[in-house]
Amino acid sequence: MELPQHAPAQAPAQLIRIDDGLVLRPFDAEADLAVWLRVIEESLEHLRPWMPWVAEHSPSRAADFLARRAELWEAGAEFTYAVVADGAIVGTCGLYRHEDTPEGAREIGYWLHPAATGRGVASRAAGALVEEGFRLPGVDELLIVHDLGNHASGAVAARLGFADHDVSDGLRTWRLARTTHP
């Protein structure tokens, strides 16, 4: 598979210390695999309504996902982080583009193990990605896109100052422009 071509870009910080207990860091494909599989498998029912990939989850797909992270980071295509709370991986977040992402935009995505929800972890992680995303050259806006029924993801976007921008095909898109970001 050929990687999407992007203009050479400065990458976001690889290690983001949000506070004493919350860190974002790149995945280590080999060292993180067993823990990553456990986090996914314990989260499947929680994620099933919102994440289409859950239907095709398998240990080999999870391993492939982790194995590609460094390559995609280096290419400037995707910047994926392990969300680490109190020393344990509890989910993932990242900055990326889809084929239909507008030029000059990056999307922020995130999901957490159900035991990590309701504590501000997603908001703090996504907030850190807002700061990193706007440091990237050519990024004028950030998007958060989620299933209409996923009110928790919408609450994260609203909490971070994103504007409710569009509803289409069962998805809600929130937008934050560089010019409106404090």
Residue 120 CA to residue 126 CA, distance in Å, equals 10
| Residue 11 in domain | no
| Residue 3 in domain | no
| Residue 2 in domain | no
| Residue 10 in domain | no
Task: Identify each DSSP E strand in the chain by its residue range.
Answer: 16-19, 22-25, 78-85, 88-96, 105-112, 141-147, 163-168, 171-177
Residue 7: pLDDT band (50, 70, 90) is very low
| Residue 115 in domain | yes
Residue 168 CA to residue 53 CA, distance in Å, equals 20
Residue 42: pLDDT band (50, 70, 90) is very high
Res 8: pLDDT: 36
Amino acid of residue 109: G
Residue 68 CA to residue 167 CA, distance in Å, equals 31
- Domain extent at residue 47: 16-180
40: domain CATH number?
3.40.630.30
pLDDT at 63 over 70: yes
| Residue 1 in domain | no
| Residue 92 in domain | yes
Mention every residue, 6+ apart, whose C-beta is less than 8 A from residue 9. Answer: 76, 136, 137, 138
Structure tokens belonging to residue 121: 């972890």
| Residue 87 in domain | yes
Query: For residue range 154-174, what is the model confidence (pLDDT) as tens digits?
Result: 999 999 999 988 999 999 999
Number of domains in the chain: 1
